[in-house]
């Protein structure tokens, strides 16, 4: 199991307003967005925590939330990602970042909400800083990283604990002894201004200045499409290039980088290993559409299985010319019929992704008494099976949206269906896949197990 991680920082509510533009406003030469859908997701430090939890690790988020509608929405979004929340009271309104989007691109961003800490950090929040041997500080410049009690807790951590500090241009310095600081070019310039007419290679010298000034062991400058530059102690500088990616929406790439780097360090890897893996993870994240595309997937146990993330599982198999198989179901009280069906599905290709109905979805399909086993535990049991390569939880009634993301070559379903009855069949055919009905095993069902247990009680 992956090591635990504490994330400390400012949380935002990210809201995407999706619509279509077909005309200009009559009173000004501006597009009119006809709203079709709104999507919300954790933002800021909460996004970094959600992504780390999606990698399959236990995560605690220390942040401040206001007692308003946006704060309640953000709290639910954080908890749905499987993140344990330790919240401080925020006086004012919850910060929101609202993007108006058309055809996959942002037309306008609106920032609203303004709050400040309602008082000193409570003892529970200060104690939570030490709950894991690695802490990621995700500073969005709204005051949490500067809170005296939390900074004292960070400074008091034993030497065995690691601190990863993702700074903000207007934020405070990292505490002395921080293991690694991860500014981007703009953040580095905010703390160590570049001289007039400076060349790109001067970033190396300014990173050294920042490391000495903050007494950090290492500094990693993230440079977008140029990759990252690492200075770690007396080791030679390490430049890690980024794969070439067509960028449509880079939102959240920095949080993906920092959360993956912190995770590698938490699991015992070196900063060099962490930076290499973090550059690759951030590139995959951007290639997949950034935070906007990831919003639906930011749920509890979004990336479970043999590989650090679902995209890696699918990309690896496709890169080898293999066949990706997906199946789905509730899998409440896993029984031999389930296992035989999963094994049969796995034999149809080279990897098996299980699309698992979330708890709310199961209740709508099976009734208020189900599921008996929570989604997180059902996912963990499925991941323990050798025939399952990855699990993704979905919360709709059918996994059609998830199948659009995975695009499996084969959709396998066990039961007494006809192919035409499967709502997913038309989805997989649209991108060249096929649906397969696996043999139904009579007498093996969760409902029958529940009935037998009730009769014996």
Q: Are 291 and 47 in contact (CB under 8 A)?
A: yes
Token pair recorded at residue 261: 């780097």
Is residue 103 part of the annotated active site? The answer reads no
Q: Which residue is it, tokens 């949490």? A: 144
HSE, side-chain direction, 13 A CA sphere, residue 335: 14
Q: What is the pLDDT along the chain (457 residues), one digit of tens a residue?
A: 578 999 999 999 999 888 889 899 999 888 999 988 888 889 999 999 999 998 888 999 999 999 999 999 999 889 888 899 999 999 999 999 999 988 878 889 999 988 888 889 999 999 999 999 999 999 998 899 999 999 999 999 998 999 999 999 889 999 999 999 999 988 998 888 877 655 555 788 899 999 999 999 999 999 888 889 999 988 899 999 988 877 667 888 899 999 999 999 999 999 999 999 999 989 888 887 777 666 555 543 333 333 336 777 888 888 888 999 999 998 888 888 888 899 999 999 999 999 999 888 888 888 887 888 888 788 888 887 888 888 888 888 889 888 988 999 999 987 655 555 677 888 999 989 999 888 766 555 555 555 555 555 5
- What does residue 10 show for φ and ψ, rounded to 5 degrees? -85, 125
Reduced to 3 states, what is the DSSP secondary structure of residue 27? coil
pLDDT at 306: 32
**Rounded distance between C-alpha atoms, residue 229 and residue 118, angstroms:** 38
pLDDT at 447: 54
Q: Are 136 and 257 in contact (CB under 8 A)?
A: no
pLDDT at 301: 36
**Rounded distance between C-alpha atoms, residue 114 and residue 108, angstroms:** 19
For residue 64, give the H/E element and its range.
strand 59-66
Reduced to 3 states, what is the DSSP secondary structure of residue 371? coil
**For the chain, which domains are there?**
5-296 (3.40.1190.20), 304-456 (3.40.50.620)
Q: Are 263 and 355 in contact (CB under 8 A)?
A: no
Q: Which long-range contacts (CB under 8 A, 24 or more apart) does 422-428 make?
A: 423/398, 424/328, 424/398, 424/399, 424/400, 427/400, 427/403, 428/403
- What lies within 8 Å, CB to CB, of 199 at 6+ separation is none
Listing DSSP states for 311-357 in one string gives HHHHHHHHHTT--EEEEEE---S--HHHHHHHHHHHTTSSEEEEEEE
**Rounded distance between C-alpha atoms, residue 332 and residue 37, angstroms:** 32
**Rounded distance between C-alpha atoms, residue 163 and residue 215, angstroms:** 13
Annotated catalytic residue within 10, 139, 255, 389: 255
**Rounded distance between C-alpha atoms, residue 288 and residue 245, angstroms:** 10
- What lies within 8 Å, CB to CB, of 236 at 6+ separation is none
Reduced to 3 states, what is the DSSP secondary structure of residue 162? strand
DSSP category for residue 184? B
Angle, alpha carbons 58-60-61 (nearest 5°): 140
Helix axes of 45-54 and 69-80: crossing angle, nearest 10 degrees = 20
pTM score, whole prediction = 0.65
**Rounded distance between C-alpha atoms, residue 394 and residue 439, angstroms:** 25
Assess whether the previous peptide bond of 286 is cis (omega < 30° from 0). no
Listing DSSP states for 249-307 in one string gives --TTHHHHHHHHHHHHHHTT--HHHHHHHHHHHHHHHHHTTHHHHHGGG-STT-SEESS
């Amino acid at each position: 199991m992956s090591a635990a991680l504490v994330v400390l920082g400012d949380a935002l509510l990210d809201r995407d307003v999706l619509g279509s533009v077909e005309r200009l406003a009559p009173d000004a030469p501006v597009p009119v967005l006809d709203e079709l859908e709104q999507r919300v997701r954790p933002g800021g430090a909460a996004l970094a925590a959600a992504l780390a939890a999606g990698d399959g690790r236990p995560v605690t988020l220390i942040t401040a939330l206001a007692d308003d509608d946006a704060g309640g929405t953000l709290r639910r979004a954080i908890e749905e990602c499987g993140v344990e929340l330790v919240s401080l009271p925020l006086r004012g309104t919850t910060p929101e970042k609202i993007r108006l989007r058309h055809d996959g691109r942002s037309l306008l961003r609106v920032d609203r909400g303004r709050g400040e800490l309602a008082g000193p950090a409570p003892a529970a929040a200060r104690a939570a800083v030490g709950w894991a041997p690695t802490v990621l500080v995700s500073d969005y410049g709204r005051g949490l990283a500067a809170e005296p009690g939390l900074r004292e807790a960070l400074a008091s951590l034993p030497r065995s604990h690691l601190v990863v500090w993702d700074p903000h241009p207007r934020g405070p310095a990292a505490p002395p002894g921080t293991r690694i600081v991860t500014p981007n070019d703009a953040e580095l310039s905010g703390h160590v201004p570049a001289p007039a007419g400076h060349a790109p290679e001067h970033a190396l010298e300014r990173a050294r200045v920042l490391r000495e000034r903050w007494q950090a062991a290492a500094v990693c400058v993230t440079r977008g499409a140029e990759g990252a530059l690492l200075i770690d102690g007396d080791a030679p500088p390490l430049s890690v290039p980024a794969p070439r990616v067509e960028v449509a929406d880079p939102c959240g790439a920095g949080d993906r980088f920092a959360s993956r780097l912190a995770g590698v360090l938490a699991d015992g890897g070196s900063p060099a290993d962490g930076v290499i893996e973090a550059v690759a993870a951030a590139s995959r994240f951007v290639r997949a559409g950034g935070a906007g595309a990831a919003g639906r997937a930011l749920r509890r146990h979004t990336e479970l299985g043999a590989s650090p993330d679902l995209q890696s599982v699918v990309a690896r198999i496709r890169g080898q010319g293999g066949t990706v198989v997906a199946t789905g179901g509730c899998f409440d009280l896993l029984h031999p019929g389930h296992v035989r069906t999963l094994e049969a599905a796995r034999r149809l290709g080279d990897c098996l992704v299980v699309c698992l109905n979330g708890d709310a979805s199961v209740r709508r399909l099976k009734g208020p008494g189900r599921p008996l086993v929570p989604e997180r535990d059902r996912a963990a049991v499925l991941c323990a099976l050798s025939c399952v390569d990855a699990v993704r939880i979905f919360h709709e009634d059918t996994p059609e949206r998830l199948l659009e993301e995975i695009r499996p070559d084969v959709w396998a379903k066990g039961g007494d269906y006809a192919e035409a009855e499967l709502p997913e069949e038309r989805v997989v055919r649209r991108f060249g896949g096929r649906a397969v009905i696996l043999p139904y095993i009579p007498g093996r069902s969760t409902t029958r197990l529940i009935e037998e247990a009730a009769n014996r009680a």
